[in-house]
Amino acid sequence: MLKKIILTVVPLIVVMGLIGYVFFNESDRMETFQEKQEAEFIEQGALVYADKCATCHGTMGKANLCYTTDGQQIGCSGRPLNTPDLLCGDPSPRLAAVEWKSTTEEYIRGITTIGRSEKGMPAYGKEFIYEEERGLSKQQIDDVTDYILNYASRDFACDPPALSIVPWSQQVSDLPAGDPISGEQHFHVTYGCSACHGDPNFEGSSAVGPWSGNFKHLDNRKADYLAADYVYESILNPSEYISPDCPAGPCAGPPSAMPPSFSVRMSQQDLADIMAFLGVDPQQSSGIEIQD
Ligand code: HEC
Ligand code: HEC
């Protein structure tokens, strides 16, 4: 009797042990497989990003280093995507600002699919465009979305909350000291100001907006503002006040034709450098509070 029990129970235990062993191993393998697949999607997304998005949103998604396909550095026109402002929080500060009611993932996928053509963000969903070959498949849009979401664990931590955009002071005189040499580079290249405002050394060289050589003389453009206050506000919040004269007639707006996103793309140092290049001294302030 005892022998019989041993003969049935022992193999049973062995078999169950084996099943358990295989099961645990397998679920481990599945997990690594899923992780690998996830990583592959993100990698595919990185390729899509480099091919389609980096010219406007920047090589690292920070909208501060953009190149044409033949390697020329140009001013970035898109908003930063690699930023806690977009990716941290539920809703993140950016999503709260645009009153988006669903997830960050849906937002990125949605904007990438249907675009925001009136603001310069092209659509990529093939169903939304004529030139289908320019578009992306649903899988590619998912991949690039995963890639962008992944900035949040790779480049900064949301928890504890990463420092969001450094808040801009309402006093221009709080800027650090600027360097005109870097400012020249930022004015012409990084932020592409000269495409619209020309070269401050050549009178009348501006194409779209007022000529930049005049910026240092704009005391009293707005009541109680000195040039430094006014230039600072114009860059951070272009639609707050619309200048009267543009090269082709009265300036359009509000909204201003000037990109609204400098306040989330620029560091305080970059702005100080640009002002130094333009000959506008942040310490020459009327002390007025700048509108944000
Ligand atoms: C021609 C320039 C350009 C290209 C190329 C471009 N974008 Fe944009 N994108 C913009 C601009 C400009 C905005 C800001 C629109 C606005 O002000 O609402 C933007 C906004 C976005 C936003 C919303 C960001 C926010 O903070 O609201 C996402 C997400 C985005 N783009 C993803 C992409 C992806 C993904 C690609 C590549 C598949 C891409 N973009 C390619 C110009 C571009
Ligand atoms: C796409 C074109 C464009 C770009 C790029 C651009 N601006 Fe402008 N900017 C304008 C237009 C148009 C106006 C006039 C309408 C208004 O007041 O907003 C303007 C107005 C201004 C004014 C107020 C000028 C006045 O005479 O009242 C300042 C200062 C200024 N921009 C600085 C800059 C700086 C600095 C940059 C780069 C960081 C820049 N802009 C980038 C188009 C542009």
pLDDT at 17: 57
Residue 193's alpha-carbon distances to 111, 190, 226, 282, in angstroms, are 26, 8, 21, 19
Higher pLDDT, 169 or 160: 169
Confirm or reject: Cβ of 246 under 6 Å from ligand 2.
Answer: yes
* Cα(169)–Cα(190) distance, integer angstroms: 22
* Cα(140)–Cα(146) distance, integer angstroms: 10
* Mean per-residue pLDDT of the chain: 87
pLDDT in tens, 8-49: 655 556 555 555 555 556 666 666 777 777 788 888 999 999
Give mean pLDDT, residues 224-230: 95
Higher pLDDT, 269 or 20: 269
Residue carrying the six token digits 């996103």:
261
Confirm or reject: Cβ of 200 under 6 Å from ligand 2.
Answer: no
Of the listed ligands, the closest to the CA of 220 is 2
Burial of 219 (0-12, 13-18, 19+ CB in 10 A): middle
Q: How far does the centroid of ligand 2 lie from the alpha carbon of residue 130, in Å?
A: 33
* Cα(153)–Cα(155) distance, integer angstroms: 6
* Cα(262)–Cα(87) distance, integer angstroms: 18
Residue 85's alpha-carbon distances to 142, 152, 213, in angstroms, are 21, 10, 34
